[in-house]
Structure 1
Amino acid sequence: MTTLDTPNTLHIRCGSDIQRSLQAAGFIGDFLEFSDPFCQGPVGGDGDWTARRNAFLSTHYEIPLADLQQRQALAYKRLCSVSQYAHIVLWFEHDNYDQLILAYLLTRLADANLGTRLELICISAFAGIEPFIGLGQLSPDQLEQLYTEQRQVVSAAQYQEASKLWYAFEQGNLSELNRIIRQGTQALPFLAAALKRQMQELPWTDCGIGLTLQLTLQMLRDKGPCTCGQLFRELTLKLEPLPHLGDLMFWALLKQAAVQGLIEIAPSRTDWPMRMVSIATPTSETNIGSWWVGPFDINRTGCPRWDPVTGQIVVTE
């Protein structure tokens, strides 16, 4: 009997959404969930940013710090041992959550000399799936089809593009980030668009807030008070140009918006998707805390902003 892969294959995905479907399709290799959400929280800066990042994720995602540290450490440790596998397959889609993780992984793996052992599946659409948001929508048979038809060996150009973007993102190199957004990425065609969407989470020059919160406030103005779950569904399925936030990530952003005095979240003992959200009144208290877009704390003086006219990141006074 012909098998799709072997026990010496490692499938790497930025979540667990396809793990069971891969098993149902007949894949027998190992699975690594590497899901550090670089689209939120501090990345880069002086010294080791792991501790700062874990503290941010623990606080905003409401995960006990010890549990989060253990999970992160295990994922990073397993990433260090991928060379033991005869075959590694990266499963990704086109949004900034996926693409930033992909850029990091390719940067990390570039020195491992994996050659033809490392392959990539990366798509932005799938026939018959509308709207296409991610690989988790696909059936076992459809994942098998992707594996058979879309798998490609990672090229030197893909390693190079990924590394250039990751280092620019980590270091906050505005000129290089703008260059990538302006010129695009040929070897990894979704990377530049994902970077652009990520940088649109910086405060905008015209309104002072990022795109996700702009869309959220527009929903509340149009519809009136909504539950968090309603806002998340509307954002993901209708308004977001590049859906990338998981539900807990969106909840973290809503809580930060409430701290900033942009919205009010009604007190409730119900789970967060059922809690009501409304636009804040002018008398709402404001206690701005840190919120990070890559290496940039958006509440610090001098934080770069997104200019919607030029489509670039700019420094303002």
Structure 2
Amino acid sequence: MKILNITNGDGAANIIKQSAVPGDVLPWRDPMHHGPFPAKLSLSELSVLRARYLVGPDADPTGAERDFQLRDRHLNASSSYDSIVLWFEHDLLDQLQILQILDWFSDTKLKDTTLDMICIDSFPGEPNFRGIGQLNAEQMASLLKVRRPVTKKMLDLAASGWAAFRSSDPHDLLAFLGGELSELPFLAAALRRHLEEFPDVATGLNRTETQLLRLVGEGVHNPEHLFLRNMDMETALFVGDWPTYRAIDALCNGGLVTCDPTPFSFPSLSENERHAFNAQRLSLTETGRRVLDCEQDAFSLMRRDGWLGGVELLASGTTWTWDKAAEQLLRREI
């Protein structure tokens, strides 16, 4: 049989390649929990947009665009396989990738190709399970026993979820969450975590920023330690190191955290520069303390100019905020 295995990123992909699992492996390398996903773009158009976003405004996107094009061509050839197996886990990043991939398959005729999925939130003997990328080759191969067919209900649900995630009105996503989502059992919790990345209605900080600010206030001063401790605060880990460091940088630029030396610098592959990165010391400012104590909000301090799915968060005007207690999205003037 000719088999295609699709999974999140190179870590899990390389383990599958080293295992007894047969077939080709296609890694889905897009960190979809941040950046633009506007509606009404085709897969190829969206891939160009994502490639340019991920490399940044000052870098040449040619290589990234080529990687996305190769991925998309491989996906477009999936009907030439006898079997396709999706390998994913329960966190927000994987659940968003599942939505995009299943949405694509919902509009694709596979003829005689079977489509199965493996999606887990735990593994026997791994009490601190974070994801399939921490498994060894033998453990990974054993997951073939728990794969199940992707049904039409799953495809339809994913298509609706993908449209809601890409909508410019986040109320569409909230409405989707009010429906029956049991066909994709980890999706609801993941999307609720996504909503917590909108600025909090009271503080103006999203959940990641709030966690980082609280950790600095508790005495976690080293940026690498801060990243690791923030990981521990997530029920299902999805935020990588660079998005975390960008959040730290935003807190510094907003005057909630100070860095010694200043300004905050990002890590480098150079050993000397890596040492300098780890030698930085982060401290809570008086403004940061007031925000933590709910004596002041951070709406005017955090310069937002980014996207959450199909929703653009602007630096001025009005923005969407999240009221977790009421589970409501509210508009606020900045």
What TM-score bracket applies, with the shorter chain setting the length? 0.7 to 0.9
Specify the code of the residue in structure 1 equivalent to 2:309: G
Q: Residue in 1 aligned with 2:77?
A: 81
Residues 1:69 and 1:277: Cα distance change in structure 2 (over 3 Å): farther
Residues 66-104 of structure 1: per-residue CA shift (max 9 Å, x gap): 222222222222222211111111000011101001100
Q: For 1:223, what is the secondary structure of its paired residue?
A: coil
Structure 2 Cα separation of the partners of residues 175 and 286 of structure 1: 26
Alignment pair present for 1:294 and 2:309: yes
In structure 2, C-alpha distance between the alignment counterparts of 1:177 and 1:18, rounded to whole Å: 29
Change in Cα spacing, 1:63 to 1:259, as seen in structure 2 (3 Å) is farther
Match of 2:200 in 1: 204
Do the aligned partners of 2:251 and 2:302 also contact (CA within 8 Å) in 1? no
Counterpart of 1:142 in 2: which secondary structure? helix
In structure 2, what is the equivalent of residue 304 of structure 1?
Answer: 320
2:246 aligned residue (244, 249, 252)? 252
* Count of aligned positions: 306
What secondary structure does 1:208 align onto? coil
Q: CA deviation at 1:316?
A: 3.5
Please tell me the residue identity of whatever aligns with 1:230. H
Task: Give the conservation status (yes or no) of the 8 Å contact 1:104–1:162.
Answer: yes
Q: Normalised by the size of structure 2, how large is the TM-score?
A: 0.82
Equivalent-residue separation in structure 2 for 1:24 and 1:45 (angstroms): 37
Which of 258, 277, 286 pairs up with 2:282? 277
Q: TM-score, normalised by structure 1?
A: 0.86
Looking at structure 2, the residues matched to 10 and 154 of structure 1 have their Cα atoms a distance apart, in angstroms, of 15
CA contact (8 A) 1:120 1:154 kept: yes
Q: Which amino acid aligns with 1:43?
A: F
- Mapped pair 1:24 → 2:18: yes
Q: CA deviation at 1:23?
A: 3.1
Residues 259/57 of structure 1: CA separation in 2 closer, same or farther (3 Å cut): farther
Pick from 236, 239, 242 the counterpart of residue 236 of structure 2. Answer: 242
CA distance in 1, matches of 2:205, 2:165: 20
- Which ranges in structure 1 are unaligned for 5 or more consecutive residues? 1-5
RMSD over aligned Cα atoms: 2.7
Structure 1 counterpart of 2:144, which letter?
Y
**Aligned partners of 1:11 and 1:120: how far apart in 2?**
10
8 Å contact from structure 1 (residues 304, 313) kept in 2: yes
Deviation sequence 1:158-198 (CA, Å, 0-9, x none): 10111111001112343331123234511001111111111
What residue number does 2:29 align with? 35
Quickly say closer, same or farther: Cα 1:46–1:141, change in 2 above 3 A: closer
Q: Which residue of 1 aligns with 2:141?
A: 144
CA distance in 2, matches of 1:65, 1:280: 37
- 3-state SS of the aligned residue for 1:209? coil
Q: Structure 2: state its 5+ residue gaps.
A: 266-271, 289-299
CA distance in 1, matches of 2:107, 2:220: 52
**Cα distance in structure 2, aligned partners of 1:26 and 1:59:** 38
Classify the secondary structure of the residue corresponding to 2:178.
helix
What SS does the corresponding residue of 1:270 show, helix, strand or coil?
helix
Cα distance in 1 for residues equivalent to 2:118 and 2:325: 34
- For 1:186, the aligned partner's letter is S
CA contact (8 A) 1:103 1:165 kept: yes
Measure, in 1, the Cα distance between the counterparts of 2:285 and 2:61: 31
**3-state SS, counterpart of residue 205 of structure 1:** coil
Q: Contact 1:215–1:240 (CA<8 Å) still a contact in 2?
A: no
Confirm or deny: 8 A CA contact 2:38 2:166 kept in the other structure.
yes
Q: Determine if the alignment matches structure 1 residue 314 to structure 2 residue 325.
A: no
8 A contact 2:16–2:25 mirrored in 1: no
Structure 1 residues 253 and 67: alpha-carbon distance in aligned structure 2, compared to 1, 3 A threshold? farther
Amino acid at match of 2:208: T
Structure 1 residues 243, 90: CA separation in 2 closer, same or farther (over 3 Å shift)?
Answer: same
Indicate the SS of the match to 1:89: strand
- How much identity, in percent, do the aligned residues show? 26
8 Å CA contact 1:18, 1:136 repeated in 2: yes
Return 123-132 or 288-297, whichever deviates more: 288-297
- Deviation string 1:126-170 (CA, Å, 9 cap, x unpaired) is 12212211101112121121112x101100111011111100111
Q: Which amino acid aligns with 1:12?
A: I
Number of the residue aligned with 1:3: none
Secondary structure, counterpart of 1:28 in structure 2: coil
Q: Is the 8 A contact 2:37 2:309 kept in 1?
A: yes
**Separation of aligned partners in 1, 2:92 and 2:208:** 13
The match for 1:130 is: 127
Contact 1:197/1:242 (<8 A) preserved: no
